[in-house]
Amino acid sequence: MKQGIVIKSTGSRYRVLDDDGNTHDCVLKGIFRVSGVRTTNPVAVGDRVTVDESESLITALSPRRNYIIRKASNLSRESQIIASNIDQAFLMISIKMPSTPVEFTDRFLATTEAYRIPASIIINKSDLYGTGEMETALRIREVYGKIGYPVFIISATEDESLDQITALLRNKTTLVAGNSGVGKSTLLNRLNPSLSLRTGSISDYHEQGRHITTFPEMHPLPGGGYVIDTPGIRGFGVIDFDRSEIYHFFPEIFKLSSGCRFYNCLHMKEPGCAVRKAVAGNEIEPWRYKSYVSMMLEDNDKYR
């Protein structure tokens, strides 16, 4: 029997890195298949597991400290665990080639808030930005920085030093997420050149829905710690949360909500809402509020 962590999962096969540093390709003991009903994958990257003597069978799963999930597909209520036992999440975005919609950022951040996973934002491809795009990047840094999220503007390909990022990753398990083509794998290759992860060429991304990285995978870092490269994410949204709780996951909205007239104000149409007042006065960034409203409305059908 050996203990280890799952570093790769393809849905039916799992690669386990044991505590002696050896990897094993394993399948799950039958019992797991029936137990994990709500998720499409009962065992995920980051899970601590027990491997039996054959070194090819996972027989037990240790309790998870946390995990992050997404909907298996847009229409599905079924969810997939992307990774577990995460110390922090990096959301990589870009202003161009491809540009990341702010609503995407806000949904991701709400999800990490809900799971109490600290998140930072990396704005990549700064070498491609003209004046207008750089202004947008700086504005994003200002808005999210004020809320409390660290924001870094980098070029994974051109920057000579990425020491700031390296320092943040040391001895932690970091989930790296972001839409397809923003440069996640490129950054990880820079941080650990021995990885040689597959990256896309710009033209690959003109085709919608194409992903270069297809399964989440965990990689060790030279200075200690792990990064989890994930496929460009779609369907990342708040699931399994009560509509009345969504505002808890927008820290700046939550902070002001105590000033609302009604204790159960949802900051939608209620009179005396301190949140909407702050939006009108630009104390809360209007696009953040718009993302909040969109999440509230999307989730609505569940409650009708």
Ligand X SMILES: Nc1nc2c(ncn2[C@@H]2O[C@H](COP(=O)(O)OP(=O)(O)OP(=O)(O)O)[C@@H](O)[C@H]2O)c(=O)[nH]1
Q: Which residues of the shown chain bind ligand X in the complex (CB under 6 A)? A: 124-125, 127-128, 155-157, 178, 180-186, 199-202, 211-213, 231-232
Tell me the C-alpha distance between 140 and 294, whole Å: 19
Evaluate whether 275 touches 255 at the Cβ level (below 8 Å): no
Residues 6+ apart with CB under 8 A from 51: 1, 2, 3, 4, 16, 18, 24, 26, 57, 58, 59
Evaluate whether 295 touches 107 at the Cβ level (below 8 Å): yes
Binding of residue 213 to Mg ion (CB under 5 A): yes
Binding of residue 278 to Zn ion (CB under 5 A): no
Which CB sits closer to ligand X, 111 or 213? 213
Evaluate whether 84 touches 228 at the Cβ level (below 8 Å): no
Evaluate whether 61 touches 46 at the Cβ level (below 8 Å): no
Residues 171-210 interacting with Mg ion (rule: CB under 5 A):
184-185
* Residue 187 in tokens: 């950054």
Which CB sits closer to ligand X, 64 or 234? 234
Q: What is the dihedral of CA 282, 98, 178, 9, to 10 degrees?
A: 160
Sign of the C-alpha dihedral computed for residues 210, 212, 217 and 218 taken in this order: negative
Closest CA to 8 of 88, 82, 119: 82
The partner residues of 39 in beta bridges, in order of sequence, read 79
Which of 119, 275, 278, 279 is close enough to bind Zn ion by CB under 5 A?
275
Binding of residue 273 to Zn ion (CB under 5 A): yes
Which CB sits closer to ligand X, 158 or 242? 158
Interface region with Zn ion, contact rule CB under 5 A, candidates 18-26, 183-191, 213-221, 272-280: 272-280
Which CB sits closer to Zn ion, 72 or 296? 296
Binding of residue 212 to Mg ion (CB under 5 A): yes
Evaluate whether 47 touches 62 at the Cβ level (below 8 Å): yes
The least CB distance from residue 211 to ligand X, in Å, is 4
Which CB sits closer to ligand X, 53 or 207? 207
The least CB distance from residue 231 to Mg ion, in Å, is 7
What DSSP assignment string belongs to 58-98? EEEEPPPS-EEEEESSSS---EEEEEES-SEEEEEEESSSS
Residues 231-250 interacting with Mg ion (rule: CB under 5 A):
none
The least CB distance from residue 224 to ligand X, in Å, is 23
- 105 to 134: interface string for Mg ion, x by CB under 5 A: ------------------------------
The least CB distance from residue 190 to ligand X, in Å, is 9
The least CB distance from residue 257 to Zn ion, in Å, is 6
Residues 6+ apart with CB under 8 A from 91: 105, 108, 109, 112, 119, 120, 121, 122, 177, 178
Which of 181, 267, 284, 295 is close enough to bind Zn ion by CB under 5 A?
267
Which of 260, 278, 279, 295 is close enough to bind Zn ion by CB under 5 A?
260
Instruction: Indicate which of Zn ion, Mg ion, ligand X, none lies near residue 127 (CB less than 5 to 8 Å, by partner kind).
Output: ligand X
Evaluate whether 276 touches 259 at the Cβ level (below 8 Å): no
The least CB distance from residue 145 to ligand X, in Å, is 21
Instruction: Indicate which of Zn ion, Mg ion, ligand X, none lies near residue 107 (CB less than 5 to 8 Å, by partner kind).
Output: none
Task: Compute CA distances 166 → 118, 162, 163, 174, 247, whole Å.
Answer: 17, 6, 5, 11, 32
Residue ranges binding Zn ion (CB under 5 A)? 260, 265, 267, 273, 275
Residues found near Mg ion in the complex (CB under 5 A): 184-185, 212-213
